[in-house]
A and B are shown apart, each in its own frame.
Chain A
């Protein structure tokens, strides 16, 4: 039944592949491409435009680029990615990995376990944990600050962007920490010990030896973190983008437009822009990875 030399004939291969590719095609690939089309319509969820959407050309796209809410969300997203992604997760992750390098104490295991727990606990739960943590009257953060003599703050209300930056850093640092820890393990101990005998201070050791050897890992980490942080929706559960849109990062902005106001056509235009930005990030990541082989 099958051709000699092959375990699966062409037809059988196609047969085996088709169910999976059908599902992927319909529910992953098609929407990604269709969003471009949808962005060119005025589709909405209710009313006339739900039943009879019209083609409106590039009007949605031009509206997006004139929408002050879009720019607000873009600005907040950039700050969010810089703060909680690059400085927060990648920076903190690297710092923690360095602190834990060559450490074997129980403190290290404790820190690692807590950081990982923060990373794997489901979204809704961590969101509520932080609602409790940041609570104005009862939250642990304010209680802790009170011990230091600092006044309580209504974090989610007064500093919403800062709150979600802090939250997301806490949430995601474990990934970078693990990645950098693994990378540090690949450095032969003799490299560090040579530096010890040469009299390099910890700072010099980091700058001259560790950082150059870790360069590619840092790059890939930053790219991955940027992609993920850019798209993360969980802060919605903490602030819903408020108050007064002060924490409305792009994903929340898309949500508000598409699913609160049901403007699917307009929302698709914004989504298309976002997906395109994702594509750019992914391509840069692939480029960096392929260049990594050279070294």
Chain B
């Protein structure tokens, strides 16, 4: 009786495994197919779709834009986030934790299209529409609460003794931060850098709303344009480009989970 139940369980699991796997199959096969279509068939192999990407101006440009946006947000989040996290960790004032939790609360409530409406209006007023800077600032504001929360945790773990020794030696607080706290929190910074990059790399909504010209668009928007443009969709390019776009995300997420376990980004992906 025990055996029968296990077989049933495994069969069900297998069924769901297949169910989860099937939509992914297209992404695995089509980029390497000589005749890419919406269908999934065993391909006669060819790398021509990848070659086409290089020839596509939008695709190449979009890649550059994605790098700019993600690196920009990453740099800004690291700088502002580490400063704020350091202050919140070392300063003494009541309501520190409440402040942080309120910020986190805010960033989880102010999400989605509903948030984009006033943000759009604001950026419009600030003449930041259709600028990379506008997108970077919105990315930063959205992710900073989480980043500060995580970084503060890291910095809390660094013994104050280092800074106190430096203080005795006459260091200024900015120098403290720059030469003591910042270098020592490197593992935390690495995590935040990666998380910010991945989150912004995959983000579609913010650039979709805030950017107008095709030349400023990052990969996410470019792909969307590819499959909604008039005419026959260039399936080969779409599939190959999507695969290239997805690969770094998959690699990074699996690398993080290997080091820190899956539970780590449960709360962050929302």
Contacts and interface: CB of A to CB of B under 8 A. Distances in A.
Contacts of B22: 133, 140-141, 144
Contacts of B84: 16-17, 19-21
Contacts of A138: 37-40
Interface string B30-55: 10000001111000000000000000
Given A16-B83, A254-B113, A286-B105, A182 B263 contact: yes
Nearest to A101: B9
A123 B173 contact: no
Interface string A192-223: 00000000001000000000000000000000
Contact of B250 (A23, A24, A115, A117): A117
Contacts of A24: 103, 106, 141, 144-145
Chain B interface residue number, banded? 35 or more
A140 B25 contact: yes
Nearest to B204: A123
B116 to A, nearest CB: 8
Nearest to A251: B113
Contacts of B140: 23, 27
B65 interface: no
Contact of A128 (B10, B13, B40, B242): B242
Nearest to B224: A124
Contacts of B263: 178, 182
A128 B223 contact: yes
B144 A228 contact: no
B72 interface: no
6 contacts: A17-B87, A20-B144, A23-B80, A32-B106, A130-B23, A264-B117
Given A17-B88, A138-B40, 19 more contacts: A7-B164, A27-B141, A29-B110, A32-B110, A38-B118, A108-B13, A110-B21, A114-B24, A116-B253, A120-B269, A122-B201, A129-B23, A138-B38, A224-B270, A268-B121, A271-B118, A275-B109, A279-B109, A282-B108
3 cross-chain pairs, A with B, having the tightest CB-CB distances, nearest first = A231-B112, A27-B141, A138-B39
